[in-house]
Structure 1
Amino acid sequence: MTSTSIPRTSAGGRAATAALWAGQALLAAVFAGAGLAKLAGDPAMVEMFADVGAGQWLRFLVGTCEVAGAVGVLVPRLAVAAAGGLALLMVGATVTNVAVLEASPLPSAALLVLAVLVAWGRRAAAPRS
């Protein structure tokens, strides 16, 4: 007789899973809001991208990437790639805040760390090719 056992999840494993989902939900909420503000032409976003000097096309590109990342980070098969993409966006945002806008890098750096933690935590669930 063959028996299959279902692995038991420890309390620590459940807590880690809950923390990952909370991180993913936070990333999704923040990036959906920021991306939609950029795409809707919020005056603060238009001004910020004008100050960067790259043109408004960059606002649309970043907004689209943020909204796509916000959706993707909630889809288990896409979470690692989406979190990785959001982390890369935050590298650019952090550098831009320091070098161009002379603004605090802390918010974008914090989101960078959270995105890296989510990508790292979900790496086992990523599809293998």
Structure 2
Amino acid sequence: MATDAGTKFDEEWKRNNCPADVKTLGRHTWTLLHTMAAYYPEKPEKKQQESMKTFFESFSEHYPCWFCKNDFKKDMAENPIDVTSRETLSEWLCRRHNKVNEKLGKKQFDCSKVFERWMTGPANGKCDE
């Protein structure tokens, strides 16, 4: 019995204190990126558009998962970022995320629900359904 509690404690400690694995890093990164896109201006000024484009270019250079960043860079080259509005950026990012989901054998996200998921929240309060 004590071993089970000790093992549970060790696993929880590692989860909270060790470096993020690829899965954890990815989940938190997508949360950040989608939230940034959801709160991006509806009609961004030129400077804001340039800044967001530069952010994603830098992100694809510095992301700490080499195969993830290489795939993302390649996808960005094939599908240039659209920073002309909140809607176009969110749609672009959702499509990039769905491409990763497809590669990982995960369910596709309905891109018409990006603002509900990442900005306003669904009426039932269950974001991960």
Fold conserved between structures, TM > 0.5? no
TM-score, normalisation: structure 1: 0.32
TM-score, normalisation: structure 2: 0.32
Greater relative contact order structure (CA < 8 Å, 6+ sep): 2
User: Would you tell me which structure has more helix in proportion to its own residues?
Assistant: 1
